[in-house]
Amino acid sequence: LAHIGGGEVTAGAADEFFRHSITKMASIHFPSCAAYAARIIRMGEEPRRVFNVGGLGDENIRTMRLLDPAALAERFHFDFERPYLLITYHPVTLGGDPAAEVGALLAALDRFPDLGLIFTKANADAGGEVINRLLDDYVARRENAVAYTSMGAQGYLSAMKYCAAVVGNSSSGVVEAPSFQKPTVNIGDRQKGRLRCRSILDCGTGTEEITRTLRVALSPAFALGCRNSRSPYNGGDTSGRIVSLLAAFLDSDLAHRPKEFWD
């Protein structure tokens, strides 16, 4: 078992339990940055089984052919030339009321009527259906808003490239958005524990706090500061390194003997 993305912490999501369980079952590890590699070793994994390779999402941004605004508009029937927010809100699986939290977010967004709003819908976690119904009702009543079940990797990353800010509690706002040097308004605790760049603003789930944080994120001064942000997930040829390291591992003694606990 080879594990990509181990060592990360997401205190507000049940992924936290599964991720660390998989780490203990895996024979080789491909964390996305040095801090997560160090955590895996502290969990008792042998250092020679742990390789900091960077993030696959960051590599996608650097290698994928992204769409321009005209091509995006043709595919998604939305005006990508106007300023817009890219918004994703998933259930917080370790507590929280998804309906109340999304209601507060939508109330905050109503205070920015000049912005376009692109929602990508919630995942399959418990509470996701509630969120998606609220989003469908919201966009049905507003000309400046659209919602998609999925934009696909190319469409989503292209939309991120041109947005004014990324909003919500998706890992993409913490992991991918810094590679575009885009502001992120990260709401609540779902991503608590992940590494942060200066382009990320954390806030609570209340309407007033979200509104204040959005105003900071959209200010020219903050946007200028984001241009100096650097993603910690840039590992170069991440997928190529994973392939090479797997091939070498399969030819080594490590692939043919039980793991040892590293004290």
Q: Tens digits of per-residue pLDDT, 98-113? A: 899 999 999 999 999 9
Task: Return the SS3 of 87.
Answer: strand
* pLDDT of 228 above 90: no
* Average per-residue pLDDT for the chain: 93
In 26-140, which residue ranges form alpha helices assigned H by DSSP?
34-42, 56-63, 69-76, 98-109, 128-140
Beta strands 2-4 and 116-120: pairing type?
unpaired
Q: Tens digits of per-residue pLDDT, 152-192? A: 999 999 999 999 999 999 999 999 999 999 999 999 988 88
pTM listed for this prediction: 0.88
The closest of 149, 148, 152 to 67, measured between CA atoms, is 152
Sign of the CA dihedral running 82, 83, 85, 86: positive
Under the banding of pLDDT at 50, 70 and 90, the label for residue 14 is confident
pLDDT at 125: 77
Residues 225-240, buried b or exposed e (16+ Cβ, 10 A)? ebeebebbbbbeebbe
User: Given strand 145-148, what is the order of strands in its sheet?
Assistant: 145-148, 116-120, 84-88, 165-168, 184-187, 200-203
Task: Return the SS3 of 263.
Answer: coil
Q: Which residues contact 231 (CB under 8 A, 6 or more apart)?
A: 55, 58, 175, 178, 179, 197
Quote the CA–CA distance of 162 and 129 in Å, as a whole number.
28
Task: Report yes or no: 238 and 56 within 8 Å, Cβ to Cβ.
Answer: yes
Task: Return the SS3 of 103.
Answer: helix
Quote the CA–CA distance of 12 and 44 in Å, as a whole number.
24
Q: Tens digits of per-residue pLDDT, 195-207? A: 888 899 999 999 9
